[in-house]
Chain A
Amino acid sequence: MVVVNPGAVAAFGATEAVASLQPIVWHEPRDSYDVVIVGGGGHGLATAYYLATRHGITNVAVVEADYIASGNTGRNTTIIRANYAIPEAIRFYDHSMKLYEGLEAETGAAIFHRKKGHVWLAHSEMGMRTERARVLMNQAMGVNTELLGPAGVKALVPQIDLTGGGRYPVFGASHHVEAATARHDRVAWAYASGATSRGVHVIQHRPVTGLLRDGPGGRVLGVQTAAGPIHAGIVLSAVGGRVSQLAAMARVRLPVRTHPLHAFVTNDFEQGLAKIVASTELACYVSQTERGQMLIGAEFDSQPSFSRLSSFDALRSYAYKITRLLPFLRSMRILRTWAGLCDISADFSPIMGETGVDGFLITTGWGTWGFKAIPAGGEALAERIATGRTPALIAPFGLDRFRNELAMADQASAGTR
């Protein structure tokens, strides 16, 4: 008896993956901390990590409703890039990208960080105008992004159908050379491991149900949970798509709406798609994971909702769109689909820092684009908490910008994560 084609054992398998895990330490919770961070997603955990490592502040708890990275951090399509269109955003994301590049060395954790390059296709003159503007602004900010014609696109992505299925001809693209991907939950775990090993507490399965306040309108003094109150010198909300609910507990209203965003993966294939390929007009994108899956996403649902159920309308339109560009995907089978809840801000940029309520800070507006921002967002908020001063890097992204008519409008950059 012969086994049909015994497959080559993958070079990096489950055993290697497990061997590369860094331990997370679970502590017995206390009832008071200097800092309580609500939300154990990437932003909450990174803030805790940088508080501990950069500022020596370890009397910190991250309070998570479910398990860590159960929110968007464990659901995203893992694209890390800085090819935004406005200088403030480019500077911020470029810094985050650099922190990502050093994260494995800094934490010793394997996050499967891979530089790939992000090819952002345009299918019309107006699309090219957007990509050209992006390239010029990126280059002026020292970010390595180049403009490609159709032949340049074909050279980087040989599988592309330059006719876009006969419907979406490829006029060209911007190519952001430094763009990368990293395994999402491993980023959260790297921070959780680094933080908890220094004494930070991560408390799972403890939804925050209210805020403790020093009288109505007074300073926030901690959080309420089903298992009792936890007192805090400062509370940071880092709750992803649930931010309107948490902010409402502090009577803060935000220009943020929660919209579901879907994604799906195929089964594993040999490596063969080197680039992250995206299209603004089609609002879809794909990259190949370290396992060899094709990871595909598109635009968020236009209807706001808190549902994380998968949607067939999303699946079929994502599948339709991406196969216009890369017809080889047509015969690949879909392994799994899922959705996350995105905190979409009015101007498609993040909101970090003060809320107008003493003792209560936020990090939100991460929408469909905040995975790449985890290191820089966490680092900046840690600095804000530790020093009481808002770092220049994030100053343009304060909540007060809406009142002051200083929106950081960058919709064309948020479109494809």
Chain B
Amino acid sequence: MTDGSISGSGGRIVVDGRPIEFAAGDSVAIAIMRSGKVPGGGGTLCLAGDCGNCLATVDGVAHVRTCEVEARPGTAVAGDPGHGKPPLPIVDGRDLTRTPIGRELGVRRIDVDIAVIGGGPSGLAAAAAAAAGGGNVLVLDADSGTEVVAIYPGRSIVAREPAGMLHVRADEIVVATGSAEIQPVCPGNDLAGIVTSGAAERLQAAGVGLGVAVAIGSPPSGVACTVLDGRLIRFEGDATGRLRSVVTTNTDGSEMTTACDTAIVGLGRAPRDVLARMTGDDAISLVGSVADEHPLPAAPTAGEICRCMGTTVDDLASAWDAGYTELELLKRASWAGLGPCQGGACLPHVRAFIAARTGTVPEPFTARPASRQITLAEAAADTTIDAFRRTPLHDEHLALGARMDRFGGWWRPWHYGDVVGEYWAVREGVSIGDVSTLGKLVVSGPDVVEALERIYPCHVADIKVGRSRYALLLNERGHVMDDGMILRTGESRFVLSFTSGGAANAEMWIRDWVDTWGLRVHVMDRTMSLAAINVTGPHAKELLARLGLAEPPRFLGHLEADIAGVPCHVMRLSFTGEAAFELHHPVDGSVTLWRALLDAGRDFGIRPHGLQALFGLRLEKGHVIVGMDTELDTTPHRLGMDWAVRMEKPAFIGKAALERTSRLPDTRRWVGFAMDGEAPPEGSPILGRDGDEIIGNVTGSWTSPLLGRALLLGWLKRTPFPDRVVINGREAVVTATPFYDREGLRARA
């Protein structure tokens, strides 16, 4: 090949550090060839995006087909030929992913009636016909810069545009992607200087000279070359990997060697139908040469069949002989088709290879995304996940120095810097905690009592207005799904609370069941409408009195009251073991209420507590945290919570299962343990008394500041249940819970 003369330079690209001139409209591959070099690592160039022979690293993206990228001033190209492996990209210190929530690349989204992929004559004709039929038509054409990556189920098309990504939803898709030229498979087909007929025409059009050129098979039009009629036997080259001559058959079968700079091969075509085969949807049709029957090439006998992976015909034959005698096995065993062109070049030959051995032409191997490759960043364009919720007190927590953490789909204060101090504030003074994340539903309706009686395993009808009851929520198998409070606010109206993150499931659960039963019950999720502050500690009542709550509810009572001017639903319960009042209130009053509580409690040494202190406080009381302590098949019995289940009730969800499983041997039990010294980490294995068998695990662990010992909750899973175990190399004693204030006097005080 000779250097092409440049008429109308487009500027310079930089190839392996050296600038080269390109002409306006050149692809990077053509620009490289214009400079007298060859892109990639040798092999037949198609310059049409079908083979993997012109790969390079372009502007930091490895494995780019240079024929598919337009040359622009400054485009940086580093060689990364088919067989080489580029190093891992290095990300500089300024990490793009740190910019807000990762919207680095835009996505344009379009809904159309008909999308036509391919802007050649058949595609344009199909588009015109569709438009004439009144459809809203979109043509996606790689030459115009829209590269289709894949078609996904639901007829959604993902494409790359110069400015970003394009996501299209179409009712119908017409694939007009044409056909690819067959690559030669013979010895020497890895040399540089071989092009397809189409590539020769493209080079000619770009004004890139081919030097002395010979054509094998159907010749290109308008390209000066010597046409050889014989069958291709091999290519011959020099030590640099450069083509020197072509060997073909004479009419008498003898070999004829023709010296040349460029060999042009026209060996037929194969459909470019990968996109059409990705989803197999009836509303995807093919037009033009992609839809045509194309004969397979002759079965290959020698040479590299898969340039991407370096598989030779001999390799294919060896794999076949070892028993890998079908297309999908042969592909995986020989690696043919596993490379960047995904069989674009080798598939017709592999099929011909098999057809010659079995007499049947195998179906092509499965087509999967991506047809045009995209980077992970392009795939992830405008992707967002995990919208974490913030309570109205988020900024208050930050101002108080809280370490925020994600928990149950919310940002929550883990601690405020002094877990033990927070603990003592609850036990000895007064403290506030943000429990806005609790699930909260309002249920109402003529059948609401009936519905709740069936949903919960405890009695509901006897809860008086203004009173409440703790309840477990069970599934049909009698396993614990959630827990919370049932608060009666009217004859036919209740407020239900659930764990953080439990409300959405609970709402579905209740709606599903009441519909199933045909009961008239309304359900409103108030989780994000109401915030809640837990005021807890020996001084809680007094603190609330200062803010206007003269008549606090009794234990398990609740009432409506204004506190610091904020309308609150005040619920008296206790998770911490001390007197506790949950103030549920509209989110717009939260900051006022929170600050008023902190102000009014200053002389009590009030301070907020985070989750970590709360976990310790509840542990001393032996309260379960569903999800942290429970497992998939945890029954109330295993938790020691038979008291929360009223088997005498006529029916409730899970009752039949509990009746059955109550007759099974007692094999797993969740209990308390106490031991001297520091608390071992949560998750510690529990060993039998002789310390050699694992019989359970710790789900909660806390060095009690008050009791000066380690208190634990955890599972025993070997019977007979022991009363002494070994945890962390130390002896622990199975201990009844609660560990603290067994009579519950403090909570009721």
Chain B residues closer than 8 Å to A10, beta-carbon distance: 83-85, 310
Q: Is A6 within 8 A of B334, CB to CB?
A: no
* Closest CB in chain A relative to B493 CB, distance in Å: 34
| 1/0 contact string of A91-126 vs chain B (CB within 8 Å) | 000000000000000000000000000000001111
With contacts A309-B152, A310-B369, A336-B368 taken as known, whether A21 is within 8 angstroms of B376 at the C-beta atoms is: no
Q: Is A328 within 8 A of B685, CB to CB?
A: no
Q: Is B407 within 8 A of A124, CB to CB?
A: yes
Report how far A186 CA is from B95 CA in the complex, Å. 38
* Closest CB in chain A relative to B659 CB, distance in Å: 13
Chain B residues closer than 8 Å to A272, beta-carbon distance: 87-88
Report how far A161 CA is from B15 CA in the complex, Å. 31
Judge whether B91 is part of the interface by a CB distance below 8 angstroms: yes
Judge whether A390 is part of the interface by a CB distance below 8 angstroms: no
Q: Is A21 within 8 A of B319, CB to CB?
A: yes
Judge whether B257 is part of the interface by a CB distance below 8 angstroms: no
Q: Is B685 within 8 A of A323, CB to CB?
A: no
Number of interface residues of B (CB under 8 A): 116
Report how far A319 CA is from B84 CA in the complex, Å. 25
With contacts A18-B333, A130-B683, A337-B370 taken as known, whether A323 is within 8 angstroms of B376 at the C-beta atoms is: yes
The chain B residue with its CB closest to the CB of A408 is B632
Q: Is A17 within 8 A of B87, CB to CB?
A: no
Q: Is A310 within 8 A of B376, CB to CB?
A: no
Interface residues of B in 628-687 (CB under 8 A from A): 631-633, 635, 661, 664, 667-668, 681-685, 687
Report how far A5 CA is from B379 CA in the complex, Å. 29
The chain A residue with its CB closest to the CB of B63 is A267
Task: Pick from A309, A316, A335: contact of B383, CB below 8 A.
Answer: A316
Report how far A71 CA is from B443 CA in the complex, Å. 48
Chain B residues closer than 8 Å to A3, beta-carbon distance: 37-38, 41-42, 81, 192, 240-242
Chain A residues closer than 8 Å to B319, beta-carbon distance: 18, 21
Judge whether B721 is part of the interface by a CB distance below 8 angstroms: no
Task: Pick from A68, A311, A315, A333: contact of B61, CB below 8 A.
Answer: A333
With contacts A4-B32, A4-B40, A331-B375 taken as known, whether A14 is within 8 angstroms of B633 at the C-beta atoms is: no
Q: Is B379 within 8 A of A315, CB to CB?
A: yes
Q: Is B89 within 8 A of A161, CB to CB?
A: no
Chain A residues closer than 8 Å to B314, beta-carbon distance: 15
Task: Pick from B63, B96, B279, B368: contact of A327, CB below 8 A.
Answer: B96
Chain A residues closer than 8 Å to B61, beta-carbon distance: 331, 333
Report how far A296 CA is from B611 CA in the complex, Å. 35
Task: Pick from B40, B326, B661, B681: contact of A405, CB below 8 A.
Answer: B661
Chain A residues closer than 8 Å to B294, beta-carbon distance: none
Judge whether B740 is part of the interface by a CB distance below 8 angstroms: no
With contacts A129-B682, A323-B380 taken as known, whether A4 is within 8 angstroms of B37 at the C-beta atoms is: yes
Judge whether A388 is part of the interface by a CB distance below 8 angstroms: no
* Closest CB in chain B relative to A11 CB, distance in Å: 10
Chain B residues closer than 8 Å to A4, beta-carbon distance: 15-16, 32, 37-40, 56, 77, 79, 81
With contacts A132-B682, A312-B156 taken as known, whether A167 is within 8 angstroms of B101 at the C-beta atoms is: yes
With contacts A4-B81, A15-B315, A141-B694 taken as known, whether A323 is within 8 angstroms of B377 at the C-beta atoms is: yes
The chain B residue with its CB closest to the CB of A8 is B84
Interface residues of A in 313-341 (CB under 8 A from B): 315-317, 319-324, 327-338
Chain A residues closer than 8 Å to B41, beta-carbon distance: 3, 5-7
With contacts A185-B332, A267-B62 taken as known, whether A140 is within 8 angstroms of B685 at the C-beta atoms is: yes
* Closest CB in chain B relative to A151 CB, distance in Å: 18
The chain A residue with its CB closest to the CB of B386 is A167
Chain A residues closer than 8 Å to B82, beta-carbon distance: 7
Counting chain A CB atoms within 10 Å of each CB, the highest count among B85, B89, B375, B682 belongs to: B85
Which of A23-31, A45-53, A225-233, A234-242 binds B?
Answer: A23-31
Task: Pick from B383, B611, B685: contact of A320, CB below 8 A.
Answer: B383
* Closest CB in chain A relative to B268 CB, distance in Å: 25
Report how far A133 CA is from B79 CA in the complex, Å. 48
Interface residues of A in 247-304 (CB under 8 A from B): 266-270, 272-273, 292
Report how far A343 CA is from B329 CA in the complex, Å. 24
Task: Pick from A26, A132, A266: contact of B325, CB below 8 A.
Answer: A26
Q: Is B385 within 8 A of A409, CB to CB?
A: no
Q: Is B326 within 8 A of A67, CB to CB?
A: yes
* Closest CB in chain A relative to B277 CB, distance in Å: 11
The chain B residue with its CB closest to the CB of A310 is B369
Q: Is B84 within 8 A of A315, CB to CB?
A: no
Judge whether A392 is part of the interface by a CB distance below 8 angstroms: no
Report how far A405 CA is from B717 CA in the complex, Å. 12
Report how far A9 CA is from B42 CA in the complex, Å. 13
| 1/0 contact string of A388-407 vs chain B (CB within 8 Å) | 00000000000000001111
Could you list some 30 contacts between A and B, CB below 8 A? A3-B41, A3-B240, A4-B38, A4-B40, A5-B79, A7-B83, A13-B83, A14-B310, A15-B311, A23-B322, A25-B323, A26-B323, A125-B407, A165-B97, A166-B100, A189-B333, A310-B152, A312-B150, A322-B376, A323-B376, A323-B377, A327-B95, A329-B376, A331-B62, A331-B377, A333-B374, A334-B375, A335-B342, A337-B369, A409-B631
Q: A15-B314, A25-B323, A165-B102 are in contact. List 10 more A-B contacts (CB 8 A).
A: A14-B310, A18-B315, A26-B325, A161-B98, A165-B97, A270-B85, A310-B368, A321-B385, A328-B88, A409-B632
Q: Which residues of A contact B (CB under 8 A)?
A: 1-10, 13-15, 17-19, 21-26, 67-68, 70, 74, 87, 123-126, 129-130, 132-134, 136-137, 140-141, 159, 161, 163, 165-167, 185, 189, 193, 196, 204, 266-270, 272-273, 292, 307, 309-312, 315-317, 319-324, 327-338, 346-347, 404-407, 409, 411
